[in-house]
Amino acid sequence: MFDSIFTTADAETGVSLPGMLIALGVSFVLGLAISLVYIKTQKNRQPSESFALTLVILPVVISVIILLVGNNVARAFSLAGAFSIIRFRSAPGNPKDITYVLLCMAVGLATGMGFVAYAVVVALILCAIMLLLELTKFGQSKGQVKTLKITIPEDLNYEHSFDDILAEYTQSSTLRKVRTMSLGSLFELSYSVTMKNDVSEKAFLDEIRSRNGNLNINLVLDAPSDEF
């Protein structure tokens, strides 16, 4: 019975059972390798477990879709219509995450079309490039970008009060937001600052405290985007 099932499937898709198993196995191994590279290159933030698992499974899913479509144009349009119904509710990732998704899709397409050797070579080369770029810190800022929040009394002119301190301890600083607090008796200033590598954060905060009357100061790394 199972022989007839596999024979019918081979006739419709043009792929034998051993070929399908090879394609799925290679897709899984390459997806696992890409996921490990993703985890390795996430030094500045916590890797997402769900995203890492997605990178493992995505090449296999794409490979299965390509194997099902084969050379059948009608089946391709049917699958396209079915998948167009799917709506993803997760928040979009950063450009680096999208790069990993595209790499997994390319691997799945290649293995599903039977270009297993090409998929292996492309995956290995691109994973090596991602690791090399991470090791060389390509495109990364020389200092850490942080969010600085300073609470000041209403009678303090905030426009230039901290310019000399920021120039001494930061590579760059931008006033992103000003809001009133405590019925207008206080102001909260939100800066985006890039700290210098050889400075003391404690000395930096101490100088600000001496100027803002020892009111609240927050220095936060990786603040949420809705802070501004």
88 and 151 share one domain:
no
Tokens 């790394």 sit on residue: 221
Residue 87 belongs to a domain = yes
Could you tell me the pTM of the whole model?
A: 0.62
φ, ψ dihedrals at 189, nearest 5°: -100, 130
Angle between helices 116-135 and 95-112 (to 10 degrees): 160
31 and 57 share one domain:
yes
Residue 140 belongs to a domain = no
Amino acid at residue number 157: N
Dist CA 128 CA 134 (whole Å): 10
Instruction: Show Cβ contacts of residue 174 under 8 Å, excluding neighbours closer than 6 positions.
Output: 191, 192, 193
26 and 112 share one domain:
yes
Residues 115-171: tens digit of each pLDDT: 889 999 999 999 999 999 888 877 666 667 889 999 999 888 888 889 999 999 998
Q: Is the pLDDT of residue 99 over 70?
A: yes
CB atoms within 10 A of CB 191: 18
114 and 158 share one domain:
no
Encoded tokens for 215: 């009111």
Residue 159 belongs to a domain = yes
Domain-ending residue, one of 135, 160, 183: 135
Tokens 């003391």 sit on residue: 200
Residue 48 belongs to a domain = yes
Residue 173 belongs to a domain = yes
φ, ψ dihedrals at 49, nearest 5°: -65, -45
Domain-ending residue, one of 115, 135, 155: 135
Encoded tokens for 121: 């070579």
CA atoms within 13 A on the CB side of 213: 10
Domain-ending residue, one of 108, 135, 162: 135
Dist CA 69 CA 165 (whole Å): 63
Q: How many domains, in total, are found in the chain? A: 2
130 and 42 share one domain:
yes
Dist CA 130 CA 149 (whole Å): 35
210 and 109 share one domain:
no
What is the per-residue burial (b if ≥16 Cβ within 10 Å, else e) of 119-153? bbebbeebbeebeeebeeeeeeeebbebbbbbbbe
122 and 196 share one domain:
no
113 and 207 share one domain:
no
115 and 17 share one domain:
yes
6 and 107 share one domain:
yes
Residues 39-89: tens digit of each pLDDT: 988 866 777 888 889 899 999 988 888 887 776 666 666 666 656 655 555
Nearest to 114 by CA among 29, 30, 14, 7: 14
Instruction: Show Cβ contacts of residue 67 under 8 Å, excluding neighbours closer than 6 positions.
Output: 13, 15, 20, 23, 112
126 and 210 share one domain:
no
Q: 184 lies in which domain range?
A: 145-227
Residues 186-219: tens digit of each pLDDT: 999 999 998 887 888 899 999 999 999 889 999 8
Identify the CATH number of the domain in which residue 197 sits: 3.30.70.260
122 and 215 share one domain:
no
For the chain, the first-to-last Cα distance in angstroms comes to 64
Residue 31 belongs to a domain = yes
